[in-house]
Homo-oligomer: A and B are copies of this chain.
Amino acid sequence: MKEVVIGFLGCGNVGGGVWNLLENFSKEIAHRNHLRVRVKKVLVRDVNKARSCAVPAELLTTDVNEVVCDPEISIVVEFMGGEQPATEYMLLALRAGKTVVTANKVALALNWHRLQAAAQEKNVGLYYEASVGGAIPIINVLQNSLQANRIGHMMGIINGTTNYILSRMYENGEDYRDVLGDAQRLGLAEPNPAADVEGLDAAYKLSIMASLAFHGRVPFSKVYAEGITKLTAMDISCGKEMGYVLKLLAIAKREGNTVQVRVHPTFLPQAHPLSSVNGSFNAIYLHGHACQEMMLQGRGAGDMPTASAVVSDILRAATAHEHIHPTFANTAEADPSLVFDDNWESQYFVRLAAEDRPGVLEKIAGWLARENVSIATMLQKGKADDGRVPLIIVTHAAREQSLRKALASFDKAVCTVESVIRVEA
């Protein structure tokens, strides 16, 4: 039986999950893949720290070279997270002729070109199924199942922390701060939650997915990211009343060579397949010119779901006769054939605080119409304390810049703009 010798960079929760899965699944791997996977070295910061898996002490090292320079090790699996030193360590491994498997969306999104170039130079593999969507096999599906498709759009719920928070706000009418605190206590949000709640985590992942879907590099810097920190219970309950569910969506659209890549809170109709993806689940909904609508849904985080993706990469890497590389150039820049458009067309949910007197609605409609923004639905919500009434407008599809210009022209003595949330169908 073939033995493949691997090394770990890092051994936190996901590393522990991979260790445990390799252990408890070794009989099946031997039987099905005719393979024995042996972990030889594990890089850690502190050899004395307690761990979620029973790695023997003699495998632990604090010296990266013991992993990346070991001639027996052919696959290096990276679990450190963060851009550095993970990127430099992966480059060391690739340049030493090791195939790299990583779950690190930050390092991949920011340094894909360097990692891929090093892999191709040494004719080794770079695998990253676990970097997007946890157990959901979106990378394999994009690379190996949807190759004959022109993907027109892709919408993903790819951050479990924000989906958990928004699901609770929607279900129970709770406030953002309260749910975030709970999520932190439950370990579902980081002590510093910025990367999740500001939409950056989803933006890293969208940069990876969109690059593969559009067959051209979509750098992280081109992804618009807007988080969920300013959302109020009131916006969510008004949207709910109008038949909408609020989700943090990662959206990529393509028409000809023009693409949009954006992460922001989005109202979706309750009947949309993504609307019922709740809690810590992830899902990716896409449309290809041949496959038409498709949705993949599953666990986007957690030790074992992520380990499921990492171990499938390890097994594919170990049995591959040739490694697949993306077809686009190894450059930090955006693919020159793609035109990035940030003046996208969308419907908008706008919450206003308006003076409660005759003629106000007419004025607002006029200001919007001057910029070619027309109103699809309007909802007035009782009376507010300060004498102004909450007024909700949902527009027909309009250009982002037209809407912004129209809102900027509103006379604050008549109404103020309290929130603006995009609506997708």
A172, CB-defined interface residue at 8 Å:
no
Give complex CA distance A316, B215 in Å: 17
Give complex CA distance A109, B141 in Å: 24
| Chain B residues, CB < 8 A from A309 | 145, 291
A235, CB-defined interface residue at 8 Å:
no
Give complex CA distance A311, B293 in Å: 17
B135/A291 in contact, CB under 8 A = yes
Interface size on A, residues (CB 8 A): 50
Select one of B129, B135, B292, B294 contacting A294, CB under 8 A: B135
Which of A145, A147, A294, A315 has the largest number of chain B CB atoms within 10 A? A145
A231, CB-defined interface residue at 8 Å:
no
- Do most interface residues of chain A lie in helix, strand or loop, or is the interface mixed? mixed
- Given contacts A140-B141, A276-B273, A327-B31, whether A148 and B294 have CB atoms under 8 Å apart is no
| Chain B residues, CB < 8 A from A281 | 293
B150/A145 in contact, CB under 8 A = no
0/1 interface trace, chain A 310-341, chain B, CB 8 Å (1 if under): 01100110000110000100000000000000
- Given contacts A141-B140, A321-B322, whether A147 and B293 have CB atoms under 8 Å apart is no
Give complex CA distance A312, B140 in Å: 12
A234, CB-defined interface residue at 8 Å:
no
Give complex CA distance A293, B25 in Å: 19
| Chain B residues, CB < 8 A from A289 | 304
- Given contacts A140-B141, A273-B297, A294-B135, whether A312 and B147 have CB atoms under 8 Å apart is yes
B296/A296 in contact, CB under 8 A = yes
Identical chains bound together, number: 2
Give complex CA distance A140, B147 in Å: 13
Select one of B271, B291, B295 contacting A305, CB under 8 A: B291
B148/A140 in contact, CB under 8 A = no
| Chain B residues, CB < 8 A from A273 | 276, 297
A312/B144 in contact, CB under 8 A = yes
| Chain B residues, CB < 8 A from A290 | 21, 25, 135, 304-305, 307-308, 311
Select one of B33, B148, B295, B304 contacting A298, CB under 8 A: B295
A173, CB-defined interface residue at 8 Å:
no
How far is the CB of A354 from the nearest CB of chain B, in Å?
Answer: 37
B292/A144 in contact, CB under 8 A = no
A312/B148 in contact, CB under 8 A = yes
A28/B150 in contact, CB under 8 A = yes
Select one of B144, B150, B271 contacting A144, CB under 8 A: B144
When C-beta atoms are compared, the residue in chain B nearest to A315 turns out to be: B147
When C-beta atoms are compared, the residue in chain B nearest to A32 turns out to be: B327
- Given contacts A290-B135, A322-B321, whether A148 and B25 have CB atoms under 8 Å apart is yes
A12, CB-defined interface residue at 8 Å:
no
B292/A304 in contact, CB under 8 A = yes
How far is the CB of A129 from the nearest CB of chain B, in Å?
Answer: 7
- A/B interface sample: 16 pairs, CB < 8 A: A25-B290, A28-B215, A31-B327, A32-B327, A135-B290, A140-B145, A145-B312, A148-B307, A148-B308, A148-B311, A273-B297, A290-B305, A293-B299, A295-B295, A321-B321, A321-B322
